[in-house]
Amino acid sequence: MPILLAASRISTLQATTRCEMAFYCNADEVRARAIRDCFSRELPDLRFVAAGEPFEPEEVQYILTWKVIPELRERYRKLEVVFSLGAGVDQLRFEELPQQAKLVRLIEPGIIALMQEYVVMATLALHRDLPIYLGQRAEAEWIKHPIRPAFGVRVGVMGLGQLGQAVLRALAPFGFELAGWSRTPRAMEGVSSFAGDKELAPFLARTDILICLLPLTNATHGILSRTLLAQLPMGAGLVHVGRGQHLDQDALLEALGSGQLRGAVLDVTDPEPLPKGHAIWNHPRILLTPHIASTAQTDTAALAIVENIRRHSRGEDMIGEVKRDRGY
């Protein structure tokens, strides 16, 4: 009898726990399956609900999603954390979340490694004039341009979060002269640090290859403007792996036309997909990729989310937690 009683207490407890804790995984089926496997090992007490399965929004404390889910504020009243399925959170708006809910960017080893690879590839491509040689190949032109080693070539990264810092670490072995610009000062060994509006002009003036890894916020919307591009040294290069809305695309085309920019590598555009016939598609000085620089790797992402759930339950800050006031 006592055993039965105990068992029924356990099941009541479990039922209560179930009601109190649910993780809603709004990812595609393949990803959801892998994340579920990880969660059943690491957080067996947390009820896991995948998209398409029945659940009560009232029971959901955590959501993993790329896009905003309708009626979050009205129906998910116990929601505590929304985890973005990507490094960016500009597609998820605080105004649409319940007041108490936190928003977390996905920072995980897979996203970081892929971004390092892409930015190294793009920076070297500009440094070694790849857009120009691809153009020449199309015309069967055998023309050599002066080459120089990376030593002395000044690379500048805008945005010194985890991705920006990782990218600078990956570029360091080539010998580029490295600098970073961020809203507030960030010290990094071997990297000249510039911060705030006042230090933007000197940062740009010393930057031969500019890499944009900024988050998209009201303050950074349109930041890669005509005025900004004009402050780079003549013949600079641009690697854009932020968001399409950072960049004034007409200004980019003008800067390439005038020689202010020598080449650009774009992984993001506005809009996406870039409409057929847009001048960027066939521009001889632009290398374009369809927003593939980096993407979350499910296994490592699942572990990063588990770690953040543990931090959250201990009352600690989560990795990638977005501050409401600054939007990243």
Phi, psi of 23 (to 5 degrees): -110, 120
**Which residue, 136 or 295, is less far from ligand GLV as judged by CB?**
295
For the stretch 226-246, what's the b/e string if a residue is b when 16 or more beta carbons lie within 10 angstroms of its beta carbon?
Answer: eebbebbeeebbbbbbbbbbb
**Which residue, 86 or 222, is less far from ligand GLV as judged by CB?**
86
**Which residue, 61 or 65, is less far from ligand GLV as judged by CB?**
65
How many residues contact ligand GLV, by CB under 6 A? 3
Cβ neighbors of 70 (< 8 A, separation 6 or more) are none
Nearest approach, Cβ of residue 60 and ligand GLV (Å): 23
The candidate with the shortest Cα–Cα distance to 264, out of 292, 290, 234, 284, is: 284
What is the amino acid identity at position 12?
Answer: T
> Contact at 8 Å (CB) between 245 and 273?
no
What track of x and - describes contact with ligand GLV for positions 44 through 83 (by CB under 6 A)? Answer: ----------------------------------------
Residue number of the CB closest to ligand GLV reads: 86
**Which residue, 119 or 256, is less far from ligand GLV as judged by CB?**
119
Nearest approach, Cβ of residue 315 and ligand GLV (Å): 27
Please tell me what DSSP assigns to residue 10. H
Residue 327 touching ligand GLV (CB under 6 A) = no
What track of x and - describes contact with ligand GLV for positions 85 through 114 (by CB under 6 A)? Answer: -xxx--------------------------
Nearest approach, Cβ of residue 115 and ligand GLV (Å): 9
Cβ neighbors of 168 (< 8 A, separation 6 or more) are 157, 160, 178, 180, 188, 191
Q: Which own/partner pairs from 135-143 qualify as long-range (CB within 8 Å, at least 24 positions apart)?
A: 135/284, 135/285, 138/284
> Contact at 8 Å (CB) between 63 and 104?
no
**Which residue, 86 or 135, is less far from ligand GLV as judged by CB?**
86
Distance CA 227, CA 49 (A): 48
Contact range with ligand GLV by CB under 6 A, out of 14-22, 84-92, 161-169, 206-214? 84-92
**Which residue, 236 or 293, is less far from ligand GLV as judged by CB?**
293
Nearest approach, Cβ of residue 86 and ligand GLV (Å): 3
Nearest approach, Cβ of residue 303 and ligand GLV (Å): 17
73 included as an active-site residue: no
The candidate with the shortest Cα–Cα distance to 177, out of 151, 202, 195, 199, is: 151
Residue of 243, 246, 283, 285 with catalytic role: 243
DSSP for 145-176?
A: -----STT-EEEEE--SHHHHHHHHHHGGGT-
291 included as an active-site residue: yes
Catalytically active residues are 243, 291
- The residue ranges that bind ligand GLV (CB under 6 A) are 86-88
